[in-house]
Amino acid sequence: METGVQTTVPAEKSDVSAATKTPTTLSSDSIINFARGDPMLYEPYWKNKGDRCKMVTLGDELMSYFSNALNLCWFLMPELDCAIRRLHRVVGNAEADDRFIIVGNGSTQTFHALLYALSSGHPEPVSVVAAAPFYSSYPEETEFLQSRLYKWAGDANCFDKDGAYIEVVTSPNNPDGSIRHTVVNREGGKSIHDLAYYWPQYTPITHKADHDVMLFTFSKATGHAGSRIGWAIIKDKAIAAKIVKFVELSSIGVSKESQLRAATILGVISEDCQNPRLEEENFFEYGRRIMSSRWKKLREVVMKSNGTFVLPEYPRDYCRFTGEYTDSNPAFAWLRCKEGLNCEKLLKDECRIITRGGTCFGVEETYSRVSMLCSDAEFDFMLERLSTIKN
Amino acid sequence: METGVQTTVPAEKSDVSAATKTPTTLSSDSIINFARGDPMLYEPYWKNKGDRCKMVTLGDELMSYFSNALNLCWFLMPELDCAIRRLHRVVGNAEADDRFIIVGNGSTQTFHALLYALSSGHPEPVSVVAAAPFYSSYPEETEFLQSRLYKWAGDANCFDKDGAYIEVVTSPNNPDGSIRHTVVNREGGKSIHDLAYYWPQYTPITHKADHDVMLFTFSKATGHAGSRIGWAIIKDKAIAAKIVKFVELSSIGVSKESQLRAATILGVISEDCQNPRLEEENFFEYGRRIMSSRWKKLREVVMKSNGTFVLPEYPRDYCRFTGEYTDSNPAFAWLRCKEGLNCEKLLKDECRIITRGGTCFGVEETYSRVSMLCSDAEFDFMLERLSTIKN
């Protein structure tokens, strides 16, 4: 493991190539990258868990293609299946019982699989839409293979075409942290509910989500982005079977090593939530404490910018998981500059901070997205840089 | 780990759903599945390696998306990069020095990535061809997303269309074990050399392959199919960059757990080949001994069928790895029945053995493919069944 503080906040999703990749020690003149959401803030928590999260694999283990030949999702390890269902029961964020769980190589592959599953059988390419600001990788992920099954059709708020469509609903939303619902709501429309950030460290768990098609990812839930584990929770068996078919034809399943490790780590989280240990925070308490503290510090710096920057406000809400009214502490800060300013450029030129500008998300360049998931050292460095801007 | 003998020989590549999945104990009336190439024959070898192949992962390790931010293939673990290059040097089967190594989620994802990389920039869909009999999953893998970038165009031997094409050359070939070269050979054509079976246990290593685009997979090299690790060896930087882009947009990289495990296991193989241990076979000696013994037994049974079945003959050749003349022992037996018979049906009806018929591979139904990679118990059971057929 690399342990030194780096200027790179490594890749969040599919835009790695866009930004600085050279790791160097943080110094006063270095460019630092907050364009991507590599979730390194959770590393210290897992370091403290010691042997409880240790996974040992021998040379003759996990060799077969199959994980459970009797299951519709034949490549899903039963251990991960159980761990995912248990965690959703413990957190109460999604209905997983009596649903199909399909594992993918990250939620990215699962997203592709869903486009395939929800669009097959239509004579024309199905329109894929999401309300702006939308996750910046959806357009390219939808378009890059030039499939005849589906096409990117932009902002759901402006969607007025006839015909079949898929609306992607990210809630809490990436980039702006808002709670989202479908906006098109036309008969025959389908939706993908990307709930990557619907965990107690980011937002109050107000209800148990129960959509037809829900997506989660290990990366944002626990910070284990390197394992490439995502999962879909699906009501309809025929849709589930198509997702399985996609993963089969794309990669013949998903790393068993990663699946078992995810099962172990999700299991430890559930265990600690159900059977609290004296003077030990469970994972979500830790995550919420760190995120809440970061947001507090960031808001202070932004307030001192005298209106150069503005941050969204989020309503407090009752969290069924913690049993308290809690704040939203989104994984990204959605900064807005004064009218007429290019926020991404301003941050780069004035603060040597790389962020991702509003146009990537389908909105104005007055916005830019800043990752809140970096290491502590990087976060403090970012605040320091940001605080140098005065109107 | 499941250790009981099963009737299922789990999935080889993307045709899992086609066959029996129910694991039950082998019994005299059970249907046994040899349609798929789950490489379980290597399990006993790895069991004996004990701690040398053990991998331990702690909760805070391998968390970042990035593996090596300075490398073109930013998600490739440096340990795996080194282990792959070392193994190719030790075996002498492919030139990997001064080439780009790109890891994928199995060679299947890498194959998709190559189609994308080699077809982008053309105004019309690029034709994808392979000489029949060709690997049965190529057509569906090429077609299922209905990309405008490429299309399946069938048997390379009959390919007479104008325009850009990609020829897939599998050598030794799946299903028939033959050594293959490109057959179209037209200016501007591109080729993918799938060398999944170009290892000493299957075929003599007659030369160091040095094509522009070569594919390998951990599954068939060592038997670790559950890890989903494949790799491409690429000469051209622009092609390599497009492959990386594909893996980024499809799955944001490849499981680090699997990559580290593959690095460990490939490292043990190289080490044992370079520094032989007293009275211990290296992996390839073991694999070649088992495969050779299986082929000998199978040929005896086939000879006793009095012409009902015929097997291909392979020339002995000088193997640079072993320093001896050696036989070919392909991963699949390509059985041919008498003219007019349906081989797959005959094996199913008369022997209750599921195999994959010739039409899946673009040739006549007199052929069928039988996996040689199952466990010992399954293999003996198959021979017993096969020997009941007498003309």
Cβ contact B256–A140 (<8 Å): no
Cβ contact B141–A16 (<8 Å): no
Cβ contact A46–B57 (<8 Å): no
- For residue B12, pLDDT beyond 60: no
Model confidence over A289-303: pLDDT tens digits?
Answer: 999 999 999 999 999
Regarding beta strands B150-155 and B126-130, do their DSSP bridges make them parallel or antiparallel, or are they unpaired? parallel
Nearest to B227 among A6, A112, A255 (CB): A255
Model confidence over A6-15: pLDDT tens digits?
Answer: 333 333 433 4
pLDDT band, very low/low/confident/very high, at B23 (cuts 50, 70, 90): very low
Model confidence over B36-54: pLDDT tens digits?
Answer: 889 999 999 999 998 999 9
Mean pLDDT of B52-69: 97
Point out the least confidently predicted range of A8-22, A243-257, A284-298, B336-350. A8-22
Residue with tokens 């209106």: A307
Model confidence over A135-161: pLDDT tens digits?
Answer: 999 999 999 999 999 999 999 999 999
Report whether A198 contacts A207 (CB < 8 A). Answer: no
Nearest to A147 among B104, B145, B229 (CB): B145
Size of chain B in residues: 391
Nearest to A144 among B14, B46, B249 (CB): B249
Cβ contact B59–A49 (<8 Å): yes
Neighbours of A333 (CB within 10 A): 26
C-alpha to C-alpha distance for B132 and B138, rounded to whole angstroms: 11
Shortest Cα distance, chain B CAs vs residue A264, angstroms:
9
pLDDT score at A30: 84
Indicate the Cα dihedral angle B106, B111, B116, B117, nearest 10°: 90
C-alpha to C-alpha distance for B243 and B247, rounded to whole angstroms: 6
3 state SS for chain A: CCCCCCCCCCCCCCCHHHCCCCCCCCCCCCCEECCCCCCHHHHHHHHCCHHHHCEEECCCCCCCCCCCCCCCCCCCCHHHHHHHHHHHHHHCCECCCCCEEEEEEHHHHHHHHHHHHHHCCCCCCEEEEECCCCCCCHHHHHHCCCECCEEEEEEHHHCCCCCCEEEEEECCCCCCCCCCCCCCCCCCCEEEEECCCCCCCCCCCCCCECCCEEEEEHHHHHCCHHHCEEEEEECCHHHHHHHHHHHHHHHCCCCHHHHHHHHHHHHHHHHHHHCCCCCCCCHHHHHHHHHHHHHHHHHHHHHCCCCCEECCCCCCEEECCCCEEECCCCCEEEEEECCCCCHHHHHHHHHCEECEEHHHHCCCCCEEEEECCCCHHHHHHHHHHHCCCCC
pLDDT score at A323: 97
Is A289 near chain B, with CB under 8 Å?
Answer: no
Mean pLDDT of B104-115: 98
Which runs of consecutive H residues, i.e. helices, occur in B124-278? 138-143, 218-222, 237-251, 256-274
Regarding beta strands A165-170 and A190-194, do their DSSP bridges make them parallel or antiparallel, or are they unpaired? parallel
Report whether B59 contacts A218 (CB < 8 A). Answer: no
Nearest to B228 among A61, A116, A252 (CB): A252
Chain A, 210 to 229: residues with Cβ < 8 Å from chain B are 219, 223-229
Domains of chain B, first to last = 16-46+283-386 (3.90.1150.10), 62-274 (3.40.640.10)
pLDDT score at A223: 98
Q: Which two tokens stand for residue B125?
A: 């869909």
C-alpha to C-alpha distance for A265 and B59, rounded to whole angstroms: 7
pLDDT band, very low/low/confident/very high, at B10 (cuts 50, 70, 90): very low
Mean pLDDT of B365-382: 96
Residue of A nearest to B106 (CA): A251
Nearest to A10 among B21, B40, B65 (CB): B65
Measured at the CA of B152, the angle between CA B151 and CA B155, to 5 degrees, comes to 145
pLDDT score at B9: 31
C-alpha to C-alpha distance for B126 and A158, rounded to whole angstroms: 35
Residue with tokens 């044992």: B272
Q: Which two tokens stand for residue A376?
A: 């502590």
Mean pLDDT of B216-234: 98
Sequence-separated (6 or more) residues with CB below 8 Å from residue A296: none
Residue with tokens 């017993």: B384
Residue with tokens 């053990």: B54
Q: Which two tokens stand for residue B23?
A: 């694991």
Size of interface A-B (CB pairs under 8 A): 288
A19: nearest Cα among A29, A32, A4, A2: A32
Cβ contact A108–B66 (<8 Å): no
C-alpha to C-alpha distance for A366 and A309, rounded to whole angstroms: 10
Average pLDDT along chain B: 92
Neighbours of B63 (CB within 10 A): 22
Mean pLDDT of A165-181: 98
Model confidence over B323-332: pLDDT tens digits?
Answer: 999 999 999 9
Q: Which residues of B touch A108 (CB under 8 A)?
A: 249-252
pLDDT score at B252: 98
Cβ contact B261–A57 (<8 Å): yes
Percent with pLDDT over 70 in chain A: 93
- For residue B237, pLDDT beyond 70: yes
Cβ contact B228–A66 (<8 Å): no
C-alpha to C-alpha distance for A299 and A41, rounded to whole angstroms: 19
Model confidence over A76-127: pLDDT tens digits?
Answer: 999 999 999 999 999 999 999 999 999 999 999 999 999 999 998 899 999 9
Q: Is the dihedral of CA B362, B367, B372, B377 positive or negative?
A: positive
Residue A214 to residues A128, A193, A226, A256, B165, Cα–Cα distance (Å): 16, 5, 22, 22, 39
Assign residue A29 a region (left: φ > 0; alpha: ψ between -120 and 50; beta: otherwise).
alpha
Neighbours of A192 (CB within 10 A): 25
Q: Which of A22, A42, A55, A63 should be substituted to probe chain B, the one whose Cβ sees the most B Cβ atoms within 10 Å?
A: A63
C-alpha to C-alpha distance for A169 and A156, rounded to whole angstroms: 10
